[in-house]
C-alpha cells in the first residue's frame, strides 16, 4: 500500500471512529444516569423558578406524591420530589433549587438507595454532600433532614425496599447525628409512622408497604407544620 493510500485509509478509519464515539456519547447523554421520569421532572423544574420566599419539599416518590401547597394551603410550598430518586439524583439536580435560595428545604431521601444495595454509611455520606452543597451555594436556606419512613413487607410488594426494614431505624440515628454535627434540624417521622413494638410502617397509612395513603400525608403535615412556620 502506497503512502497516499495508507493516509486515505487511516483518515477514513479516524472518521468512522469519531462518528462511533459521537454516537456512543449521544446515547449516553440520552440515557444518562437516571430514569426517563427523572429527566422529565428535572426539565420541568428548570422551567419553574424558585424564589427566596419558597419552601421546598425535596425527595423521592413519597415526597412526589404529596400535594403540599394544597395540604398546607400555602402557595410558597414547592414539590421537588421525583419518584425513584436517590441521594446522587438529588445532588445532581440541586442547581434548579438552590439558585433561587429558598427560605427552607425539607429533605427526605435514602430508601431507594437502600433498595439499590447502597450502604447506610454511603447514604449518610450522600446526605452530607447535599447539606454541604446547600450550605455553600444557598447559605440562607434553612435545612431540615427528615427521617426515612418505616416500610412494611406484609403487602408482598417492593421487596427490594421492605427487606431493609430492620436497618432503617439505625440509619435514621446516623442521619440524626449527621444533622446535629452539621447544625441543621432533624425531624423524626419514623416514630410517628411505625407500628409500636415493630419495625413496620403502620398499615393505616399505606396500601403497598412503601408509599403513603391520604391519611399518611395528613399525619406528615401534623408533624412538620410547626417546623414550616417556626
State the pLDDT confidence band at 32, using cuts at 50, 70 and 90. Answer: low
Going by C-beta distance under 8 Å and a sequence separation of 6 or more, which residues neighbour residue 121? 174
Report pTM.
Answer: 0.86
Torsion of CA 100, 138, 223, 161, to 10 degrees: 90
Domain ranges of the chain: 1-31, 35-228
The per-residue pLDDT for range 145-176, each reduced to its tens digit, is 999 999 999 999 999 999 999 999 999 999 99
Average pLDDT score, the chain:
90
pLDDT of residue 18: 35
Tally of CB atoms within 10 A around 188: 12
For residue 108, what are the β-bridge partners? 59
Share of the chain above pLDDT 90, in %: 86
Going by C-beta distance under 8 Å and a sequence separation of 6 or more, which residues neighbour residue 133? 91, 94, 98
Share of the chain above pLDDT 70, in %: 86
Q: Report the C-alpha gap between 8 and 124 in whole angstroms.
A: 56
The per-residue pLDDT for range 71-114, each reduced to its tens digit, is 999 999 999 999 999 999 999 999 999 999 999 999 999 999 99
| Per-residue pLDDT at 20 exceeds 50 | no
State the pLDDT confidence band at 2, using cuts at 50, 70 and 90. Answer: low
Interstrand relation of 104-108 and 185-187 (parallel, antiparallel or unpaired): unpaired
How many residues in the chain? 230
| Fold that domain 35-228 belongs to in CATH | Rossmann fold (3.40.50)
Q: Which three cell numbers stand for residue 171?
A: 440509619
Mean pLDDT (whole number) for 103-127: 98
| Per-residue pLDDT at 19 exceeds 90 | no
Amino acid at each position: 500500500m502506497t503512502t497516499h493510500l495508507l493516509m486515505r485509509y487511516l483518515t477514513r478509519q479516524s472518521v468512522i471512529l469519531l462518528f462511533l464515539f459521537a454516537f456512543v456519547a449521544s446515547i449516553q447523554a440520552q440515557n444518562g444516569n437516571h430514569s426517563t421520569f427523572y429527566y422529565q421532572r428535572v426539565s420541568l423544574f428548570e422551567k419553574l423558578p424558585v424564589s427566596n420566599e419558597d419552601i421546598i419539599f425535596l425527595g423521592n416518590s413519597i415526597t412526589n406524591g404529596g400535594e403540599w401547597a394544597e395540604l398546607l394551603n400555602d402557595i410558597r410550598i414547592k414539590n421537588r420530589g421525583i419518584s425513584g430518586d436517590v441521594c446522587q439524583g438529588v445532588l445532581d439536580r440541586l442547581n434548579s433549587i438552590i439558585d433561587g435560595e429558598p427560605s427552607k428545604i425539607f429533605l427526605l431521601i435514602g430508601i431507594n438507595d437502600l433498595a439499590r444495595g447502597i450502604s447506610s454509611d454511603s447514604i449518610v455520606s450522600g446526605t452530607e454532600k447535599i447539606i454541604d452543597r446547600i450550605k455553600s451555594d444557598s447559605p440562607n436556606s434553612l435545612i431540615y433532614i427528615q427521617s426515612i419512613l418505616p416500610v412494611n413487607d406484609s403487602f408482598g410488594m417492593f421487596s427490594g425496599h421492605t427487606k431493609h426494614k430492620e436497618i432503617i431505624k439505625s440509619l435514621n440515628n446516623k442521619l440524626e447525628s449527621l444533622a446535629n454535627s452539621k447544625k441543621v434540624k432533624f425531624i423524626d417521622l419514623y416514630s410517628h409512622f411505625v407500628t409500636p413494638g415493630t419495625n413496620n410502617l403502620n398499615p393505616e397509612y399505606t396500601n403497598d408497604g412503601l408509599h403513603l395513603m391520604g391519611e399518611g400525608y395528613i399525619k406528615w403535615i401534623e408533624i412538620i407544620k410547626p417546623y414550616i412556620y417556626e
